[in-house]
Chain A
């Protein structure tokens, strides 16, 4: 197990470095620096600004400084557009918001998806099954950017129950629609995966043995079926996490929740490269950590895997 963790970290570190190098290179390949504007600045002013941000140094020096700053002080440098703010400052403002509704979306996707899939599998070929499968197929073609406007039409414009956007410190009525919009398609995928894997487990010999020795259905289900059939679900959690964090960009834009995605898209329009890079690297790091956790969880649940 220890070796496995070391090996995984051995992959994670080069991945992060490649991500940093790639985004750094892209940033410098961009035509026009962050301070080119329609009205050209006097040469001396431009030189001074570039000196302040260290842009006059060789690219290699800039990159090592940047990486060093992240490693030692967790410092992503200054924002190029908001002169009084650092990237850390901006991330610090948006990140907690993203985490809050992201966390709830994750919980909803798992908490609704697994029971839905399980019920469909147990009641196979009944109307309950068809309903659950119908819901999960339908939800798959309803990604967040389709769900979000539909939810607003129904709950804000027609029914007038929920506010159409904003955050308000994350109180529940502002949380409901972002969470539903973000989690629906992942909930559907989890339900589908759970259903098919439970059906597969139900066909195995050891379940037949358990049945023939007269165990009650409930015991069979909770003790013998559930755990092995959750393995495919666990390996889906990694992609689901990436999907949720990507989807949060859209949620922030459409519901004006003010999370990290808002700053990411804003800086994409403003060409505020340092903010984009900082957020990309942070998201990459989170993804890597999360997939490590998922792998460990997988190893813990599956007795066949020994590292």
Chain B
């Protein structure tokens, strides 16, 4: 009897401790379940993953690489270069005989890379700047935010084009330029959140125990900002992809033989009068669908992580 009871007690204790760790609803767990219940966001996430996977696996199915030229289609793409399985040009060719399928894959990789890298630069710079400004407060805060105000009222696309012309057009310059110019919104949002956080007890406790300002910002403030940073980072990516595509459309962005969605759309748009609509419509479809997905995921994340709506 006693032994059995003992077992039971141990079992109960185990159950209790397991349950204890299981029932605690952390912010992220909560957010995940709310995100999964948002159908549009979940579907968008899967579509986006599919697009990313496609851009890596797609080349193995390609009959023509992006460097190969189909001499048969050159100059008569409107008659020969339409999308077909037999010729191996799944998305057709352009007038130079290049395979649109491979070019779209290449463009997808580059556009997504510029979007993600640019957003990373913007997030890192914006978060640190905003957290520092909000945490330090007082005059420093005023001056730092005044600088943001000033930079915000500069029409940044014009400055970016100026930068690209002066320092030469390269992808590196492009994403540094876009990233450096798009951290401003981020820094404002982060600053507002930091102002809320900095009067909380745990920050005071850290201060009392003599933790340095820099450590407090990186170790205590920034981790607590991750939710809102994640939301705005997801919304930044499509914004940056839009900016890159805009510049590439003008012909000032990525250079041949490299390509991006914007450059492909630009080429397609320039040749629509030659009856080669597929040249426009395939990259356009990828572009529009991906942007849709990013916006839906961003909205879903906002609903999931924003404490206002609880």
| Chain A positions near chain B (C-beta within 8 angstroms) | 11-12, 14-15, 18-19, 22-23, 26-27, 29-30, 137, 140-143, 145-146, 148-150, 152-153, 157, 164, 242, 245-246, 249-250, 253-254, 264-265, 268-269, 271, 276-277, 279-280, 283-284, 287-288, 291
CB–CB A249/B250 < 8 A = yes
Contacts of B272 in A (CB 8 A): 149, 152-153, 157
Complex: how many Å from CA A21 to CA B271?
40
Pick from A140, A141, A246: contact of B157, CB under 8 Å: A246
Given that A26-B166, A149-B272, A287-B155 are known contacts, is A141 also in contact with B292, CB under 8 Å in the complex? yes
CB–CB B250/A265 < 8 A = yes
What number of residue pairs across chains A and B have CB atoms under 8 A from each other?
A: 110
Contacts of A269 in B (CB 8 A): 251
Contacts of B288 in A (CB 8 A): 141-142, 146
Give A301 Cβ to nearest chain B Cβ, in Å.
21
Query: B77 interface residue, CB < 8 Å from A?
Result: no
CB–CB B150/A14 < 8 A = yes
Q: Which residue of B lies closest to A185 (CB)?
A: B242
Query: B273 interface residue, CB < 8 Å from A?
Result: yes
Contacts of B245 in A (CB 8 A): 143, 145
Pick from A153, A268, A287: contact of B161, CB under 8 Å: A268
Give A142 Cβ to nearest chain B Cβ, in Å.
7
Q: Which residue of A lies closest to B243 (CB)?
A: A246
Given that A26-B162, A253-B250, A271-B165 are known contacts, is A146 also in contact with B153, CB under 8 Å in the complex? no
Query: B35 interface residue, CB < 8 Å from A?
Result: no
Residue-wise, chain B 150-168 has the 8 Å CB interface mask toward A (1 for contact) of: 1001110111011111110
Complex: how many Å from CA A16 to CA B217?
33
Contacts of B252 in A (CB 8 A): 265, 268
Complex: how many Å from CA A27 to CA B161?
12
Pick from B163, B242, B268, B295: contact of A143, CB under 8 Å: B242
11 CB contacts below 8 A, A to B, read A11-B149, A11-B150, A23-B159, A30-B167, A137-B292, A143-B245, A145-B245, A149-B268, A284-B154, A284-B155, A287-B155
Contacts of B163 in A (CB 8 A): 26
Query: B122 interface residue, CB < 8 Å from A?
Result: no
Give B276 Cβ to nearest chain A Cβ, in Å.
11
Contacts of B118 in A (CB 8 A): none
CB–CB A291/B153 < 8 A = yes
Query: B73 interface residue, CB < 8 Å from A?
Result: no
Contacts of A142 in B (CB 8 A): 288
Contacts of A30 in B (CB 8 A): 165-167
CB–CB B273/A157 < 8 A = yes
Contacts of B74 in A (CB 8 A): none
Residue-wise, chain B 279-292 has the 8 Å CB interface mask toward A (1 for contact) of: 01000100110011
Contacts of B165 in A (CB 8 A): 30, 268, 271, 276
Q: Which residue of B lies closest to A17 (CB)?
A: B150
Which residues between 288 and 310 of chain B lie within 8 Å of chain A, taking CB atoms? 288, 291-292, 295
Given that A157-B272, A157-B273 are known contacts, is A264 also in contact with B158, CB under 8 Å in the complex? yes
Complex: how many Å from CA A283 to CA B277?
35
CB–CB B162/A23 < 8 A = yes
CB–CB A146/B250 < 8 A = no
CB–CB A276/B162 < 8 A = yes
Q: Which residue of A lies closest to B289 (CB)?
A: A141
CB–CB B295/A29 < 8 A = no
Q: Which residue of A lies closest to B40 (CB)?
A: A137
Contacts of B249 in A (CB 8 A): 145, 250
Query: B240 interface residue, CB < 8 Å from A?
Result: no
